[in-house]
A and B are shown apart, each in its own frame.
Chain A
Amino acid sequence: MAIARWEPGEGDGSLASRRFVDERVLLYPAMAVVFLLLLTFVFYPILQVIHRSVVGPEGFTLSNYVLYFSNPRISRTALHSLFVSSLSTVVTVSIAFVFAYALTRTTIPGKGLLNTLAMLPLVAPSLVQALALIYLFGRNGLITARLLGVEWNIYGWHGLVLSEIFYCFPHALIILFTTLSAVDTRLDEAAQSLGAGAWRTFWTVTVPSAKYGLLSASFLVSNLVITDFGNPKVIGGDYNVLATEIYNQVSGQQNLSMGSTISVILMIPAVGAFLLDFLIRRRDYALITGQARPFLRPSRPVTTWAFSGFCWLICAGMVLVYATIITASFVRLWGYDFTPTLKHYRFESAGGYGVLWTSLEISVVAGLAGGVLSLLVAYIVEKKRPIGARFLYLLSIIPAAIPGTVLGLAYIFAFNRPGVVFYGTIWILAICNVFHYFTLGVLAGISNLKQIDRSVEEAAVSLGAGVFMTLRRVVFPLTRVAFFSSAMYFFMTSMVTISAVIFLYAPDTKTAAIGVLLLDDAGDSGQAAAMSTLIIAIVLAALASLRLLLGKEGFRMIKA
């Protein structure tokens, strides 16, 4: 069987004479641009912070550090931070581990719903947890004062730990869920076939095989807690931690030197935890194989009931928190007057809906910019791998080690000077958000891009496609999902972030999340609840529309 010869006709023909752009002409400038952006918006500001902490009117000095350690009240904040962080980590990771175990090793019903509910804290600013806890368990809380008639002072480290647990739970769950899914369940079965009981198997087989995931989750949670600003501000009471102390020094006392000093100190555990996690993840990488989930034997009724009960209890807690906030936004005066009202939604103290528009603007810009930039980096690192790609990758990982408050402060030092036109506008907020959350965007992008066959681009090239045609016809359509999930991530985090932007907002660029904080600060908790509700609604709406856009398949990639 033969086929006709292909005779070149009018207008087409061999590519021998066509000019092809060398892809390096695009690649290296793109890399240079990214390097420049990272240097300008991550490294330069951080250097400024460090500089500020060691430079006084006479030059190099360690007096700020001396002052820090010699002032017992201030140096206590470090201990407070470590304490709260450790305690929260232990509890959160334990709970999340059991939850993840239930989702991956048992056959309890309703896993999809449980998983979704567990992710709720991700759609709201961190302090929403604290607000709800005050409503429920505060001194005049619904549950403590009304239902149980018990008086419990929730302000302080215990309230803080509780709200941090809620806040960090989904982050820990995601990691542990991935870990337990990837680890072969057949190991458990093998152990049990050799006679080990379920309990013994759990401790000697399951937990050790998940050890890297446990460590990784622990580092992540402890970092989240130690750098969190919103929760301690609302529910910490007089229990000061490093993050709030930075704020007190900077915004309260305008003591920028002390603020920088505390920032540097805060970076130590943050960077340390991050490095350890990074080293561990590299070793653990081999375990993530992406195999199909094996068939699970149906669990015994006792197991099913126990785990179901546990999981539903946790989720009930989540739902309760959010139901409380939403309800509180609609009642006149929580605790005394539950008549429904819309008055909080007039936002009298906040000056109307302006802040929500600001948040939306910032989040859209951050979403698009972050999506494009992180995907670009992911593409270069994963697909192209030119010289310097490794270095670019390392640079992109570093923002994850920097606490938000520190970054915000760093931006003041770096950019609050005449001539820097974007300071005081929404642009600096958007930029700050992009680089604050840059790392995860890049990592998610890399993970998504790995799923695209390496040879596809080479196929296009071999068929005669130049750089632009390959990008347009092959690369862009295939990275669509990765782009949208990345952009969504930046959008979401921009809507709810507080810690970095708390230093950077100007009178007309307050974000909604900051609005919640300020309203709570001023005691207008009804309006704070209302603003929180709207933020949650916006984020959920965005997620829902993305899901519609991408379909079920693409949507799952966001969780990566």
Chain B
Amino acid sequence: MFCHRGARTVMLVVLVGLLALFGVWAEAAEVVVYTSLENDEVVEYLKQAKTDMPDLEVKWIRLSTGDLGARMLAEKDNPQADVIWGWAVTNLIPFAKQGLTEPYAPKGVEKIPAQFKDKNHHWVAIDLYMAAFSVNTEVAKKKNLPIPTSWEDLLNPVYKGEIVMPNPASSGTGYLQISAILQMKGEAAGWEFLKKLDKNIAQYIKSGSRPAKMAAAGEYAIGASFEFAVAKLIDQGSPVKMVIPKEGAGYELEANALMKGAKRPEAGKRFLDWAISENAMRQYAKWKAGVTLGGMPTPAYLPGELSKILYPMNFEWSAANYGRIVKEWESLFLR
């Protein structure tokens, strides 16, 4: 009576143990990827990766831009990642300068235009994403709010408590928005603007896409986010409208790099080769406003030519002043 039950328990334990150990010690080819790309995009892209590289197991962690940087910094003595994929160039530039990346020229890098890659091959950009507002039309109608067209419009006191915006310390989207504003207006006027805007902001959100989703859910009228998050929501039938600020949309390049001290450098390189391949680019093009490989289709939702919509960002400046700007922002606005 007892023995039967006891034997079963023992077997179960052994079984579970084996399963787990198998997970720990399985020697299949694998690569660990750290990325700031959105969860849902990553899942889609990796489907393509699986088709193109069926024997490579991709393990990934997704964190927002700032958080990812912090984690990699903390791990720098014992890096857990092999590859950085789709991380803000603003952050990748200083990272590479600190010597945390390994130079590598992926196959096909010659097809990528010069302004989208590091001359010493520390990083290669794959796409750009830009600032866009997600405006909930139903909420706007219910509360009689005019649809904003620019950053300046957001200062309208009628929007008080109706806007959510990303936190630039954690979110790449947040940082590009702040950086664009500061570059557009000049620093002094820029901070003044942000202080006025702060009065209308209900919450600062740690993720870049969440403001768009919160607006779509009707929690707030306006979410300052980036373009394809809004596009996807519209696709899904949310009552939102995409608004690209008239002053020009700040944007960010997302790039890849090989980690210095990666545990699986060969697998890492393989992944990086794939990450700028045509197949990969075609996938990116489905989501992003623009990809760095020429000849890819542009999305329908863009209101015009990219060169006309985008604000010409100075990435070197963004990168060089990252720490200072974030600190300043935190001391002024962090609640």
Interface of A with B (CB < 8 Å)? 73, 134, 138-140, 145, 153, 155, 237-238, 240, 251-254, 256, 332-337, 348-352, 361, 364-365, 368, 417-418, 421-422, 424-427, 472-473, 476-477, 480, 506-508, 518-519, 521-525
Q: Is the CB of B139 within 8 A of A349?
A: no
* A139, A418, A518: the one within 8 Å of B39 (CB): A518
Q: Is the CB of A426 within 8 A of B23?
A: yes
* A240, A251, A333, A349: the one within 8 Å of B237 (CB): A333
CB distance from B20 to the nearest CB of A (A): 5
Residue pairs across A and B with Cβ atoms less than 8 A apart, 29 shown, are: A73-B335, A139-B219, A140-B217, A153-B202, A252-B67, A253-B169, A333-B236, A335-B218, A336-B239, A337-B237, A348-B40, A351-B39, A361-B16, A368-B9, A368-B13, A418-B78, A424-B80, A426-B20, A426-B23, A476-B6, A477-B2, A480-B5, A506-B61, A506-B80, A522-B209, A523-B211, A523-B212, A523-B213, A525-B213
Chain A residues lying within 8 Å of B16, measured Cβ to Cβ, are 361, 364-365, 368
Chain B residues lying within 8 Å of A334, measured Cβ to Cβ, are 217
Q: Taking CB as reference atom, which chain B residue is nearest A358?
A: B23
Q: Give CA–CA (A251, B281) in the complex, Å.
A: 31
Q: Taking CB as reference atom, which chain B residue is nearest A233?
A: B206
Chain B residues lying within 8 Å of A337, measured Cβ to Cβ, are 237
CB distance from B45 to the nearest CB of A (A): 11
Q: Is the CB of A521 within 8 A of B210?
A: yes
Q: Is the CB of B24 within 8 A of A153?
A: no
Residue B70 is within 8 A (CB to CB) of chain A in the complex: yes
Q: Give CA–CA (A421, B38) in the complex, Å.
A: 30
> How many interface residues does chain B have, given as a range?
35 or more
Contacts between chains A and B (CB distance < 8 A), count: 133
* B39, B161, B203: the one within 8 Å of A238 (CB): B203
Q: Is the CB of B20 within 8 A of A365?
A: yes
Q: Give CA–CA (A106, B210) in the complex, Å.
A: 49
Chain B residues lying within 8 Å of A140, measured Cβ to Cβ, are 139, 217-219
Residue B19 is within 8 A (CB to CB) of chain A in the complex: yes
Q: Taking CB as reference atom, which chain A residue is nearest B41?
A: A349
Residue B189 is within 8 A (CB to CB) of chain A in the complex: no
Q: Is the CB of B139 within 8 A of A524?
A: no
Q: Is the CB of B20 within 8 A of A425?
A: yes
Q: Give CA–CA (A415, B24) in the complex, Å.
A: 16
Q: Give CA–CA (A188, B14) in the complex, Å.
A: 55
Q: Is the CB of A525 within 8 A of B217?
A: yes
Q: Is the CB of B217 within 8 A of A524?
A: no
Residue B207 is within 8 A (CB to CB) of chain A in the complex: yes
Q: Is the CB of A335 within 8 A of B71?
A: no
Q: Taking CB as reference atom, which chain A residue is nearest B59?
A: A507
**Given A138-B219, A333-B236, A522-B207: A251 and B67 interface contact (C-beta under 8 Å):** yes
Q: Taking CB as reference atom, which chain B residue is nearest A421?
A: B24
User: Digit string of B20-37 for contact with A (CB within 8 Å is 1, else 0)?
Assistant: 100110000000100000
Chain A residues lying within 8 Å of B71, measured Cβ to Cβ, are 251, 254
* A134, A336, A507: the one within 8 Å of B60 (CB): A507
Interface residues of B in 207-228 (CB under 8 A from A): 207, 209-214, 216-220
Residue B320 is within 8 A (CB to CB) of chain A in the complex: no
Q: Can you name 4 extra interface pairs (CB under 8 A) apart from A252-B170, A365-B20, A421-B24? A: A348-B44, A472-B2, A473-B2, A522-B207
**Given A140-B139, A365-B16: A335 and B24 interface contact (C-beta under 8 Å):** no
Residue B102 is within 8 A (CB to CB) of chain A in the complex: no
Q: Give CA–CA (A418, B74) in the complex, Å.
A: 15
Chain A residues lying within 8 Å of B213, measured Cβ to Cβ, are 522-525
CB distance from A453 to the nearest CB of B (A): 19
Q: Give CA–CA (A360, B60) in the complex, Å.
A: 21
Q: Is the CB of B43 within 8 A of A349?
A: yes
Chain A residues lying within 8 Å of B211, measured Cβ to Cβ, are 523
Q: Taking CB as reference atom, which chain B residue is nearest A357?
A: B19
CB distance from A358 to the nearest CB of B (A): 9
Chain A residues lying within 8 Å of B9, measured Cβ to Cβ, are 368
Chain A residues lying within 8 Å of B200, measured Cβ to Cβ, are none
Residue B12 is within 8 A (CB to CB) of chain A in the complex: yes
**Given A139-B218, A140-B217, A153-B161: A254 and B73 interface contact (C-beta under 8 Å):** yes
Q: Is the CB of A523 within 8 A of B237?
A: no
**Given A418-B78, A523-B214, A525-B213: A252 and B59 interface contact (C-beta under 8 Å):** no
CB distance from A525 to the nearest CB of B (A): 7
Chain B residues lying within 8 Å of A477, measured Cβ to Cβ, are 1-2
Q: Give CA–CA (A476, B32) in the complex, Å.
A: 45
Interface residues of B in 43-95 (CB under 8 A from A): 43-44, 46, 59-61, 63, 66-67, 70-71, 73-74, 78, 80
Q: Is the CB of A256 within 8 A of B218?
A: no
Chain B residues lying within 8 Å of A251, measured Cβ to Cβ, are 63, 67, 70-71
Q: Give CA–CA (A155, B201) in the complex, Å.
A: 13
Q: Is the CB of B40 within 8 A of A507?
A: no
Q: Is the CB of B19 within 8 A of A361?
A: yes
Q: Taking CB as reference atom, which chain A residue is nearest B216?
A: A333
Residue B238 is within 8 A (CB to CB) of chain A in the complex: yes
Q: Give CA–CA (A336, B71) in the complex, Å.
A: 38
Residue B287 is within 8 A (CB to CB) of chain A in the complex: no
Q: Is the CB of A332 within 8 A of B237?
A: yes
Chain B residues lying within 8 Å of A418, measured Cβ to Cβ, are 78
